[in-house]
């Protein structure tokens, strides 16, 4: 396949950034950019990520340094609770779960992604025909913000990986950072300076996954 020419070099830059985004799990607690730059990058995603009917249901919390470590301490103690209750074998926890959680803790920060489903009540009433669609759309919008932040952080030299420890950590997270009860946690994006590159990635053939008509 010969590389197509794009009119705007920014298009190539966007597509290259999308390709460069990977899951990176070996991270250290250093940042290639200022905290203000991280903050603005995340705020940009909060403002400019689209949402169905412009409902703006995404909610984001940025945790840096010690606050990020608190999150993973919460996850570690939640998992310890499952071990104590006999739901997770101690051996699995010590040899697999805890090292994995500590690897997240070794990062520089975590972006917490929430959805405020309760804020959709009026629009569900107004557009009753779409009522069942608003929650999935809100999650899709949230995923778009996750993807934008993940890609932009890696473009700035971070490594990042996406985690899902909800609902295990929800209560403690809401309490620790005094968050509104209507903010429902969806995902956690861990980031830091990479200490190793991403692993190999296999691609299913494009011809099984894409069609074009009318070219
Ligand atoms: C919706 C979604 C959920 C994911 N959940 C997790 C997760 O809970 N834990 C994890 O380690 N990776 C998670 N991932 C990362 C995927 O495993 C990863 O993106 C995929 O294997 C492709 O690798 P890449 O990110 O390096 O391109 C998730 C990715 C997506 C898009």
- Taking the C-alpha atoms of residue 188 and residue 184, their distance in angstroms, rounded to an integer, is 12
Q: Are the C-beta atoms of 116 and 184 separated by less than 8 Å?
A: yes
Residue 115 host element (H or E): strand 109-115
Rounded to a whole number of angstroms, the CA Rg of the chain reads 19
CA of 166 to the centre of ligand 1 (A): 15
Whether the link from the prior residue into 35 is cis, omega within 30° of 0, is: no
- Determine whether the shortest distance from the Cβ of 26 to ligand 1 is under 6 A: no
- Determine whether the shortest distance from the Cβ of 23 to ligand 1 is under 6 A: yes
pLDDT at 2: 79
pLDDT at 1: 66
134-156 b/e (C-beta count within 10 Å ≥ 16 → b): beebbbebbbbbbbbbbbbbbbe
* DSSP-based three-state secondary structure for 200: coil
Q: Kindly report, residue by residue over 55-84, the tens digit of the pLDDT.
A: 999 999 999 999 999 999 999 999 999 999
- Give the phi and the psi of residue 34 in degrees, each rounded to 5: -70, 150
Domain positions in the chain are 25-194
- Determine whether the shortest distance from the Cβ of 65 to ligand 1 is under 6 A: no
Atom of ligand 1 nearest to the CA of 199: 26
Q: 93: Cβ–Cβ under 8 A, 6 or more apart, which residues?
A: 79, 80, 82, 83
Phi-psi category of residue 157: left, alpha or beta, with phi > 0 → left and psi -120 to 50 → alpha: left
Fold of 25-194: NADH Oxidase (3.40.109)
- Determine whether the shortest distance from the Cβ of 19 to ligand 1 is under 6 A: no
- Taking the C-alpha atoms of residue 172 and residue 174, their distance in angstroms, rounded to an integer, is 6
Q: Give the residue whose CA is nearest to atom 19 of ligand 1.
A: 23
Q: Kindly report, residue by residue over 1-39, the tens digit of the pLDDT.
A: 678 899 999 999 999 999 999 999 999 999 999 999 999
- Determine whether the shortest distance from the Cβ of 7 to ligand 1 is under 6 A: no
């Amino acid at each position: 396949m010969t590389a197509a020419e794009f009119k705007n070099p920014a298009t190539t830059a966007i597509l290259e950034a999308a390709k460069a985004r990977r899951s990176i799990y070996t991270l250290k607690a250093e940042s290639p950019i200022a905290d203000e730059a991280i903050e603005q990058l995340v705020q940009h995603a909060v403002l400019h990520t689209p949402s169905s009917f412009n409902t703006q249901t995404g909610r984001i919390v940025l945790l840096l340094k010690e606050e990020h470590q608190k999150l993973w301490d919460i996850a570690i103690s939640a998992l310890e609770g499952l071990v104590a209750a006999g739901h997770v074998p101690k051996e699995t926890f010590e040899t697999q779960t805890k090292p994995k959680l500590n690897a997240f803790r070794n990062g520089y920060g975590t972006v917490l992604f929430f959805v405020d489903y309760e804020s959709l009540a009026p629009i569900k009433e107004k557009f009753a025909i779409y009522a069942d669609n608003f929650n999935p759309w809100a999650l899709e919008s949230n995923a778009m913000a996750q993807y934008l932040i993940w890609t932009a952080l890696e473009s700035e030299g971070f490594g990042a990986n996406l985690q899902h420890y909800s609902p295990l950590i929800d209560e403690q997270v809401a309490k620790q950072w005094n968050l509104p009860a209507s903010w429902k946690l969806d995902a956690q994006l861990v980031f830091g300076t990479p200490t190793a590159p991403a692993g190999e990635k296999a691609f299913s053939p494009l011809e099984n996954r894409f069609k074009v008509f009318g070219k």
